[in-house]
Amino acid sequence: MSTLRPEKEKELFLKKFWKNVGLILIGAFIYSFAVNSLLMANHLGEGGVTGLMTILYYWLNVSPALTNIICNGVLLLVGWKLLDKRTIAYTVVAVTGISAFLKMTATWGLKLEEPIVGALFGGMLMGIALGFIMYGEGTIAGSTILAKIINRYLGIKTGTAMLFFDLIVAVPSFLLIGIENMLLTIIELYVSAAVLNQLLAIFGKRKALTIISKKHELIAKKIAEITQKGVTLIPGQGVVSGDPQMMVYCICEQKQLVKIMAAVRAVDEHAFVVMEEVHSVYGKDSLRIL
């Protein structure tokens, strides 16, 4: 049973939409900075479309911003029927933002004495950037679209699937950047995938609460006010007493837990509460499986 009115749901949708756009643009900026300042400035490669972008830049001096928008536009068409339209819309924001920021940061190169520093910190920033973008329910197209599809249908972690597709592009890049820089690129890709997997594991964690109380309706209303999401009432029956019971079921974020428990105690200090760890959720108003 949802306790949210249609106008409230619309307000929450718009709030979430602009929050996601903000997260995606932050991630797009970090991503572009890492590519221009740490990777390309030190003649390192990348995987997926970004890898093709660096190869075309080293080989033919093609603008990375142009390569990004064209190649990812094609891949967006591939993902159009396989991913939900909301993810596609947010991905358009991410791809457009990355192209704009790539243009903006084109002269921000940080030439390092030790390229491995660029590989390590570049990988870390790339993973953080992708975490922001995916937490905002978007992708950067390229290998992330393919990884999202693999994640959706095979359950393989997004970061791991991305690493696989990225290596397909990164390994042959030694023809342009040399064996040593190609190996450093693989290190960068591994760091990026590891950071991304850790971030998505943190972002995906939720708590599932099952609450039994005679004041279930008031408790459900209080929880909905805190979480700004729907709450479900499940009918049940006590085995010993034989009395009918109503259970309140909800998914909440870790940071909301203290407020929810305080609200439950304020309504009914004798309420029975079961709390479970949830690593991923899928559905309306929730994060996708990560």
**CATH number, domain containing residue 265:** 3.30.70.120
Q: Answer yes or no: do 228 and 185 share one domain.
A: no
**Residue 86 has what pLDDT?**
85
Compute the Cα dihedral for 249, 254, 260, 264 and give only its sign. positive
Q: pLDDT band at residue 283, thresholds of 50, 70 and 90?
A: low
| Residue 176 resides in a domain | yes
Q: How many domains are contained in the chain?
A: 2
**Residue 187 has what pLDDT?**
94
Q: Answer yes or no: do 162 and 261 share one domain.
A: no
**Residue 271 has what pLDDT?**
92
Q: Answer yes or no: do 91 and 144 share one domain.
A: yes
Top pLDDT among 253 and 273 is at 273
Last residue of a domain, which of 203, 228, 243? Answer: 203
Please give the distance of CA 264 from its chain centroid, rounded to a whole number: 31
Q: Answer yes or no: do 104 and 228 share one domain.
A: no
Q: How many CB atoms lie within 10 A of CB 129?
A: 27
| Residue 285 resides in a domain | no
Q: Answer yes or no: do 209 and 199 share one domain.
A: no
Q: Answer yes or no: do 55 and 106 share one domain.
A: yes
Residue 2 predicted with pLDDT over 50: no
Q: What is the pLDDT of residues 119-165, one digit of tens each?
A: 999 999 999 999 999 889 888 887 777 777 787 778 787 777 877 88
**Residue 93 has what pLDDT?**
94
pTM of this prediction? 0.74
Q: Answer yes or no: do 212 and 183 share one domain.
A: no
Q: Answer yes or no: do 273 and 215 share one domain.
A: yes
Last residue of a domain, which of 146, 172, 203? Answer: 203
Place of tokens 């996708």: 288
| Residue 258 resides in a domain | yes
% of the chain surpassing 90 pLDDT: 49
Average pLDDT over residues 36-59: 91
Last residue of a domain, which of 188, 203, 218? Answer: 203
Q: What is the pLDDT of residues 72-121, one digit of tens each?
A: 888 888 777 767 788 889 989 999 999 999 999 999 989 898 999 999 99
**Residue 120 has what pLDDT?**
96
**Residue 4 has what pLDDT?**
53
Q: Answer yes or no: do 217 and 197 share one domain.
A: no
